[in-house]
């Protein structure tokens, strides 16, 4: 059996990877990565560096591994152009990529066909493409997580309350759930859930993020409260998070699968616009009163260009002559349903019970019913 090689660019190993420490001292689990077949030390260092960027641990061999499983089981096989001839005759398998740096070798395409490679990638030009391929293979490039944004038609409409209720209901349904606090002025969803003392990263820790984040590493780095991973704001004033960081974080969350719920601000700053672009459905929470409907009209105009599918959730009690259908029609939005008035929410929060944690309460029942429709095969919210 070949010895595993360690280079200055990173490490390759066999078997499960232990948690590793990053710059913050937190421990993150490395996921099983691709099989690398090469004897080119410079190319190997580059491939190990790209695997580290994707958050995975590869295995390294100089030739096709002994035993069929060593070749067919890895999610991706990266064959260096120096080793392609030694891979002739290996079982054809999906996810084989021929990697090299020599732009002037026309024979590389013939080698790619002989080993059944799906494509040929040249470094350094294709580094970004290759990192995406590695991360997709390790995480699984399945259907993105349904992503629901919640925004208030006016201040105090109850958007954060509904966002928490939806996240807790999704977790009750057995879905990996990420609750994202998109409103830096909202007081913190971790506080609303009772998890402000839980250790983990907050938005300021991701302010410098660009490009691709590993979904598994993101999930493991966040606080977990009542089965929900929460990305919230710290207690100290912080600079705004750039839209590039919002894009990276939400894209990683969606690739990870499960469910993503985003509590949105009513404004349209660049970070909020980026979050809106990631949504599958937006829920506008509107109290049943005329001033709230008037305010919600302005919010609808703000969201019109960013949210592809915006719907109304109407909250009682109602002013005279109004009901949920009247409010939705006035805003020209599809009606998701009526969010019943729940006088017990304030008392529950005082007792340390987050909104929606009780499935038999009005909010819990509403959120369970929402996900039952939204997560059913072919279902829609």
Task: Provide the 10 A C-beta neighbour count for residue 218.
Answer: 25
Task: Provide the 10 A C-beta neighbour count for residue 241.
Answer: 23
What is the DSSP-derived secondary structure letter of residue 119? E
Give residues with Cβ within 8 angstroms of 117, minimum separation 6: 79, 84, 96, 97, 98, 111
What is the chain's pLDDT, residue by residue, as a tens digit (381 residues)? 343 443 333 334 433 332 333 333 333 344 678 999 999 999 999 999 999 888 789 999 999 999 999 999 999 999 999 999 999 999 999 999 999 987 777 788 899 999 999 999 999 999 988 988 898 887 765 678 999 999 999 999 999 999 999 999 999 999 999 999 999 888 889 999 999 989 999 999 998 887 778 788 889 999 999 999 999 998 777 678 999 999 999 998 998 889 999 999 998 899 999 999 999 999 999 999 999 999 999 999 999 888 989 999 999 889 999 999 999 999 999 999 999 888 778 777 778 889 988 899 999 999 999 999 887 765 555
**b (16+ CB within 10 A) / e for 102-124:** eeeeeebeebbeebbbeebbbee
Q: In what order do the strands lie in the sheet containing 228-231?
A: 224-225, 228-231, 177-181, 259-263, 147-152, 281-287, 310-315, 335-339
For residues 160 and 188, give the distance between their C-alpha atoms in angstroms, rounded to a whole number. 9
Q: CA torsion sign, 67 to 70 to 72 to 78? A: negative
pTM exceeds cut of 0.75: no
Backbone dihedral angles phi then psi of residue 35, each to the nearest 5 degrees: -90, 130
For residues 41 and 195, give the distance between their C-alpha atoms in angstroms, rounded to a whole number. 47
Query: Could you give the dihedral angle defined by the CA atoms of residues 197, 210, 47 and 133, in that order, rounded to the nearest 10 degrees?
Result: 100
Contact present, 254 and 147 (Cβ < 8 Å):
yes
């Amino acid at each position: 059996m070949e010895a595993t090689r360690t280079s200055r660019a990173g490490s390759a190993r066999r078997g499960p990877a232990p948690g590793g420490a990053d710059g913050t001292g937190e421990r993150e689990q490395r996921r099983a990565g691709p099989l690398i077949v090469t004897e080119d030390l410079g190319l190997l260092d580059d491939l190990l560096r790209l695997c580290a960027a994707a958050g995975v641990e590869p295995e390294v061999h100089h030739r096709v591994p002994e035993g069929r499983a060593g070749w067919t089981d890895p999610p991706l096989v990266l064959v260096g152009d120096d080793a392609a001839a030694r891979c002739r005759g290996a079982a054809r398998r999906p996810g084989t990529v021929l990697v090299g740096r020599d732009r002037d070798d026309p024979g590389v395409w013939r080698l790619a066909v002989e080993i059944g490679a799906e494509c040929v990638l040249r470094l350094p030009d294709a580094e970004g493409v290759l990192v995406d391929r590695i991360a997709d293979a390790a995480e699984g490039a399945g259907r993105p997580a349904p992503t629901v944004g919640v925004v208030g038609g006016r201040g105090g409409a109850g958007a954060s309350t509904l966002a928490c209720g939806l996240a807790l209901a999704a977790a009750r349904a057995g879905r990996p759930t990420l609750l994202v606090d998109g409103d830096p002025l909202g007081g913190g969803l971790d506080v609303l859930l009772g998890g402000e003392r839980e250790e983990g990263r907050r938005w300021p820790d991701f302010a410098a993020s660009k490009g691709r984040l590993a979904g598994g590493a993101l999930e493991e780095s966040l606080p977990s409260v009542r089965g929900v991973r929460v990305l919230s704001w710290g207690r100290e004033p912080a600079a705004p998070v750039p839209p590039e960081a919002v894009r990276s974080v939400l894209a990683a969350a969606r690739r990870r699968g499960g469910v993503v719920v985003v509590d949105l601000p009513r404004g349209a700053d660049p970070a909020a616009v980026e979050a809106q672009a990631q949504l599958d459905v937006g829920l506008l929470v509107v109290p049943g009163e005329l001033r709230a409907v008037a305010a919600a009209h302005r919010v609808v105009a703000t969201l019109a260009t960013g949210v592809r599918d915006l719907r109304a959730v109407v909250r009682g009690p109602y002013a005279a002559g109004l009901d949920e259908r009247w409010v939705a029609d006035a805003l020209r939005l599809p009606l998701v349903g009526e969010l019943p008035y729940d006088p017990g929410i304030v008392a529950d929060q005082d007792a340390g019970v987050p909104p929606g944690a009780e499935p038999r309460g009005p909010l819990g029942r509403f959120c369970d019913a929402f996900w039952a429709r939204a997560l059913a095969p072919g279902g829609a919210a």
